[in-house]
A and B are shown apart, each in its own frame.
Chain A
Amino acid sequence: MSPMNAAEALHRARAGLPGLLVLLALVAGLVSMISVAVSDHPPASQAQQVQQIAAGLHCPVCKDLSVADSPAPLAQQMRQEIAQKLRAGESAGQIRAGFVAAYGESVLMSPPRQGVAGAVYYLPLLVLAVGLITAFTLLRRWLRAPRPEPSGAGPPQLSATQRRAVARAVARLREEEPG
């Protein structure tokens, strides 16, 4: 009796091993992510600050590119002006406001959060919510649907044609899904 219980216990432990391993891997991954998130980042140098502000501004003479990415001469001048204003003590917000005063709000890479334009920040969440609700409703309907019940005892009687069809289906299944 005892050896049987021990073997069973060992088997159960081994069966649980994959789950434990996956859990361990998950934890390790999360730990590495957290360690990166909380680690100290060196304060941004002035060049990096210029890049950050420039990345939030749309190059006025290009299509799509930010002032940080753009090779255009005007973008270069804008980066120099940003550096100059930073040295003069202006904050990032003040620098951005200065450009908005001359160019309008379209010089910002992302619209301001107020007003109609600010809708772009919460509309995606709304769309996602609608999508998730639709998906969950569909899944629930499928989960609740009655499953085909086996009628009576024993396997259903199949004709020869049906057996051949079944054999073809199984062969095809094997081909598609060897695992």
Chain B
Amino acid sequence: MSGRVTRRRARLLAGVVAVVAVIVVLLMTGLGKDPSVIASPLVGRAAPNFTLPQLDGPPVTLAKLRGQIVVINFWASWCTECQVEQAALDQAWRRFRDSGVVVIGVDFEDSAGAARGYVRTDGVTYPVVADAGSKTALAYGLRGVPETFVVNSSGRIVNHVIGPVGGAALTSVINSMLTGAQ
């Protein structure tokens, strides 16, 4: 086999190896991530205002809560995963309500009857509002329930959790905001 052929072969082989390496590296980047988790563009921006009626009580307006830390949790009575985070949210409400933290549950695509039933059986103590027509859900870029947004005292969204929020994570976020004035 002539030297020229061998060199040509080597060049071609090197080319194949290079292309395959690029393909593998690109595909590997997709392996670690969950493709259904999409970053929200609202983090770092002002939280969209809303005025929603409570299930039993006067309407709640977000702008009127300026100066307090607000934890907005989107949920639904038909959502099984929402029950997982229920305890954590209740605990945060009881622990921090006197420190200027408000927890609001926003009911998504649900009926008032079913929502009231859930509130009763699961013992939800924080204010719960109903988002009929899903306008608030659309404003917050909701892709499903549960999703939680944490708004600081200046009305800016500082944290966004997709899926059930863990008790420890929520506590640490609120603590860091209370001490560090984020």
Contacts and interface: CB of A to CB of B under 8 A. Distances in A.
Direct A–B contact present (CB less than 8 angstroms): yes
Interface string B33-61: 00000111110000010000000000000
A130 interface: no
Interface in A60-80: 60-61, 73-74, 77-78, 80
Interface residues of A, number: 16
A60 B142 contact: yes
A104 B134 contact: no
A8 interface: no
Interface residue SS majority, chain A: helix
B139 interface: yes
Nearest to B45: A101
Contact of A104 (B39, B48, B142): B39
Contact of B143 (A60, A80, A81): A60
B139 to A, nearest CB: 6
A137 B52 CA distance: 68
B174 to A, nearest CB: 24
Interface residues of B, number: 18
A102 B143 contact: no
Interface string B125-152: 0000000011101111111100000000
B109 interface: yes
Given A73-B109, A74-B109, A104 B141 contact: yes
B38 A106 contact: yes
A74 B137 contact: yes
B41 A103 contact: yes
A5 B143 CA distance: 82
B38 A102 contact: no
Nearest to B143: A60
22 contacts: A60-B143, A61-B143, A73-B109, A73-B134, A74-B134, A74-B137, A74-B138, A77-B138, A78-B138, A81-B135, A81-B138, A99-B138, A100-B41, A101-B42, A102-B42, A102-B139, A102-B141, A103-B38, A103-B141, A104-B41, A106-B38, A107-B141
Interface of A: 60-61, 73-74, 77-78, 80-81, 99-104, 106-107
Interface of B: 38-42, 48, 109, 133-135, 137-144
